[in-house]
Amino acid sequence: MEKLIIEGGQQLQGTVRISGFKNAAVAIIPATVLAGDTCVIDNLPQISDVKILADMLSSLGATVKELRPNTLEINTTAMKDCYADYELAKELRASYYLLGAALGRFKKAKVAYPGGCSIGSRPIDQHIKGFEALGAKVTIEHGIISVEAEKLVGAEIYLDVVSVGATINIMLAAVMAEGTTVIDNAAKEPHIVDMANFLNCMGADVKGAGTDVIKIKGVEKLGGCIHTVIPDQIEAGTYMIAAAAAGGDVLIDNVIPKHLEAITAKLKEMGVNIIENGESLRIISSGNLKNVSIKTLVYPGFPTDLQQPMSSLLTTAKGTGIVAETIFEGRFKHVDELKRMGANIKVEGRVAVIHGVKNLTGAKVVASDLRAGASLVVAGLMAKGETEIENVQYIDRGYDQLEQKLISLGAKVRREHRE
């Protein structure tokens, strides 16, 4: 059992470099199945989700080599089909991207129903709707999703819910379908654009990514390519919030400021000074901030993945803040842990009302999921005394070298192995 121990109250100073985007990486790695060739993916974050996916591809017949710590060479030539059983797929939700990629290349795939964070029901009906619209037969038996098609024919698909996963999975299945596919009401997140760039680099014809209408003209075959993953919008946002919470002067380097507009606007509203300079943001904060309200929305709205870290920041801001979580119905599991640290929060359904308190106090707390873990780190940086966070493995799924980066900014953080 690993724990993070944080001694709160230290201001943060210095520079932190943001790693590659987890949610882009966990889609692009499975997408290499489409190439049937060798791809080199650079700027991958060193997180457990990337390692799990690399091992998964290897066990499915691909050859995966680590060229450098953040660079994988993935050769999927030898793969003949794709059957990811429960043992393989249970580790992470993104295993479902193998369905779209293997359907696109082999016209068939079997993947165990996805696992993932406990933040809500997380249905995949829109993924299935897209695959069926392209001509695939989808069955779910004994916890295995099977997709199969004689051939895939382009179609017009309207997403009933704006879904990142469904948008990407349909793109993967459609790139070598006959004819044109149009995805209406598509997700517009930065990693959708990164995926489209990767697919086009392999020889696909994808247009409109980043808007709510994506057009995909099917091509005969794809080939290998070299791709650099974009910086992690959510990791960057988490460090922005941590700097605002702890107070200090932090330069967050290797970011795309455009991707962070929603969080930048909210932090400025609270009284944080943010200076944009090319690919970096400078965060200057006294730590004494005004409370605000946030509502999570699809991109370019306030990202649901930053709702939990932001909720921690609001617990000691002056006044009252309202947090409305419109994307996932179960994304307030961190609230009970924040209350153990002295937060004054009341949750009613998808809304949390946060009354700012003078300070939090360190406590033993448990991370229930990846971003809940991040919210407890933010709280621990602010709290008086020591905070001990259990279930650090959740945090390691999505944050590359978290404690090293925080320590380099002056935080007092250590990892302990406890039986």
Chain positions contacting ligand EPZ, by CB under 6 A: 22-23, 26, 93-94, 117, 119-127, 161, 163-166, 187, 189, 304-305, 327-328, 370-371, 398
Report, in Å, the least distance between residue 316 CB and ligand EPZ.
24
DSSP letter at 274 equals E
Name the minimum Å distance from CB 417 to ligand EPZ: 25
Alpha helices in 11-124 (DSSP H): 22-31, 48-59, 86-89, 97-106
CA distances from 181 to 32, 199, 233, 319 (A): 20, 15, 28, 49
Nearer to ligand EPZ, 317 or 327 (CB): 327
- The two tokens of residue 198 are 């990767």
Give, rounded to a whole angstrom, the gap between the first and last alpha carbons of the chain: 6
| Distance from C-alpha of 327 to C-alpha of 308, rounded to nearest angstrom | 13
Return the SS3 of 320. Answer: strand
Burial of 386 (0-12, 13-18, 19+ CB in 10 A): middle
Q: Measured between alpha carbons, how far is 388 from 303 in angstroms, rounded to an integer?
A: 27
CA dihedral 278, 238, 329, 114 (to 10 degrees): 90
- Neighbouring CB atoms inside 10 A of 390's CB total 18
Nearest distance, CB of residue 298 and ligand EPZ, angstroms: 7
39 included as an active-site residue: no
Q: Measured from the CB of residue 290, what is the shortest distance to ligand EPZ in angstroms?
A: 27
Buried b / exposed e along 326-336 (16+ C-beta atoms within 10 A): ebbeebbbbbe
CB of 267 to ligand EPZ, least distance (A): 20
How near is the Cβ of 369 to ligand EPZ at its closest, in Å?
7
DSSP string, 353-407: EEE--S--B--EEE--SHHHHHHHHHHHHHSBSEEEEE-HHHHHTT-TTHHHHHH
Buried b / exposed e across 179-217, counting CB within 10 Å, b at 16+? Answer: ebbbbebbbbbbbbbbbbbbbbbbbbebebbbeeebbbe
- Tokens coding 17: 């470099």
Write down the catalytic residue from 39, 82, 117, 225. Answer: 117
CB 128 → ligand EPZ: shortest distance, Å? 7
By Cβ distance, which residue is nearest to ligand EPZ?
A: 165
Catalytic residues: 117
